[in-house]
Structure 1
Amino acid sequence: MSIEEIKTHIFQNFEHVNIVEANGDLFFMYDNNDKFPFATIVTSDNEYDSTSNLNREGFFRLNVGLDGETFNSMFGGLTSEKGLEAYLNLGIDFTKEDTILPHPTYGAMYWVCVVNPSKETFESVKEYLALSYNKVAKKQ
């Protein structure tokens, strides 16, 4: 999947979506909410997050916020610490492509990520995008 294909899917399937772009990264927001995205696409490493090694040509990471129940059904067997970067010391290879993983920084807040998702993997991610979008939309 390309970034453009992911953007197209989001705009064709969800209403009232705004994109905030910062430093080449995309933050998908519901309506006029400018603080809490339901999904992001990160296109490069930065001072806060370099675990996915996104500075490689053509690499990006799609991030999606879930609810606790869904996240725990996927990763509940992983022991994590509390707080930011809770999943960093578990031996997970966050550079691995096309695999849905807990987010390296925001996993404890029930975010998942996938580096360079294939069309097949994106089929699973569509369900998570809808869940995240609906969660944020209900708060408005």
Structure 2
Amino acid sequence: MTMDEIIALVGGLDGVLTIRPAPGDGSPELTWGDTFFYYAPDGVTPATTQPFATIVTKNYPGDDASRLDRPDTFRVNISAGKEAFIRWTGHAPREPATTDPSAPDTVIAHPVYGTVGWLAVVNPGPRTETATRELLHQAHHLARTRHQRRTDPTAP
């Protein structure tokens, strides 16, 4: 999967706000070229909510284990919930990860946010395309459900 395919997939889901920081938009330079997906049906960046998925194209301070400084390398990060995390990693989020965080086309515990249940895939390819799509849909569903609970007190 390419970044553009992921952006088209997630951006096409209902209520998604896609933010792509770039020079001149007031965003920090470090974020330029990355993509952030929020569930925000009103089109406004939520002030108190994290994105449910991101695409990063470079190492961040304290987050270089995926070696995103390699040419044509990116990582999609997905908050698909604890059940999905356990299903894909074989362990609870707080347990140490055993998979190489730089391995391409492999569902892994996020090298920094795995302890809070985030999954990641470096350069999703043939082995992980279906899983990546499913995990992104699951993350969107969870984000939508959280939003509905916050905005509608009668929602289940």
| TM-score for both structures, normalised by structure 1 | 0.83
Tell me, yes or no, if structure 1 residue 50 matches structure 2 residue 57.
Answer: no
User: Displacement, 1:127?
Assistant: 1.2
Aligned AA (1:7): I
Total equivalences in the alignment:
132
AA aligned to 1:49 is: D
Q: Which amino acid aligns with 1:66?
A: A
CA-based RMSD: 2.0
Measured in 2, the distance between the counterparts of 1:79 and 1:39 equals: 17
CA displacement, residues 18-75 of structure 1 (integer Å, 9 cap, x when unaligned)? 1223232211111132531111001001212101110111100011012112211222
Deviations 1:63-92 (A, max 9, x none): 1012112211222347955xxxx53xx4x3
Give the number of the structure with larger relative contact order, counting CA–CA contacts within 8 Å between residues 6 or more apart: 1
Is the counterpart of residue 18 in structure 1 residue 32 in structure 2?
Answer: no
1:24 partner letter: G
Judging by fraction of residues, say which structure has more strand: 1
Q: Which blocks of at least 5 consecutive residues in structure 1 are unaligned?
A: none
Q: Which has the larger radius of gyration?
A: 2
* 8 Å CA contact retained: 2:105, 2:126: no
TM-score by length of 2: 0.76
Residue 9 of structure 1 is matched in structure 2 by 9
- Cα-to-partner distance string for 1:101-138 (whole Å, 9 max, x where unaligned): 11111111111111001145121111111111111111
**How many percent of aligned residue pairs carry the same amino acid?**
32
- Any conservation in 1 of the 2:39–2:52 contact (CA below 8 Å)? yes
Aligned residue in 2 for 1:126: 133
| Partners of 2:66 and 2:102 within 8 A in 1 | yes
Structure 2 spans left out of the alignment, 5+ residues: 22-30, 148-156
